[in-house]
Homo-oligomer: A and B are copies of this chain.
């Protein structure tokens, strides 16, 4: 995009390609996160608040986990896109794969609350891990193939790739594990703090703030 056209698109008339891609993705994230609750209905009969929460506990827990998952994926998505300078057709396609998996999360959440434990949990964690990998593809394409990013050291680009690709699956797995074994939370906290420390060492100060 030439500069003249860019400033024109960005400001006055049509938003530019990257801008429109971000807004479109945000809308899909927002709709998917809000639809998580749409299949939850109150039970037909309940006696008192305690009974109500007892009957709805599985659904509300699954809702909270999925809400956090979409939140983490949205953070990752924002992190990736804050480092991009432009978009192209390949980015559109890989990003669409991420959105297609995000839009399936309400379905996976339903699976989760209908069959707690066992295979449903594994499928759910696998689904979230797949979202992370797809997001890793978006970043790998943008940083290494399409050259869509601001210039950055290779080490930093690889660290972003690993964080974006592995974090959703790891955090989701550890969160569900922590619901059973409380000391899982400590593992989760260690993971988040550790990644932040590595990130701080690798990333120069200015980029850090831009990508916060």
Can you list, as one digit per residue, whether each of A91-115 has a CB less than 8 Å from chain B (1) or not (0)? 0110010011001101100110010
Query: Which A residues form the contact surface with B (CB < 8 A)?
Result: 1-2, 5-7, 9-20, 22-24, 26-42, 48-49, 52, 63-64, 67-68, 71, 74-75, 78, 81-82, 84-89, 92-93, 96, 99-100, 103-104, 106-107, 110-111, 114, 119, 122-123, 206, 209-210, 212
- With beta carbons under 8 angstroms apart, the residue of B14, B67, B85, B206 that contacts A13 is B85
Q: Are B13 and A119 in contact (CB under 8 A)?
A: no
Q: How far is the CB of A26 from chain B (nearest CB, A)?
A: 5
Q: How far is the CB of A199 from chain B (nearest CB, A)?
A: 11
- With beta carbons under 8 angstroms apart, the residue of B2, B19, B37, B99 that contacts A206 is B2
Say whether, besides A22-B20, A67-B100, A206-B2, A37 and B89 are in contact (CB < 8 Å).
no
Say whether, besides A30-B24, A40-B107, A13 and B2 are in contact (CB < 8 Å).
no
Task: Give the docked Cα–Cα distance between A75 and B93 (Å).
Answer: 10
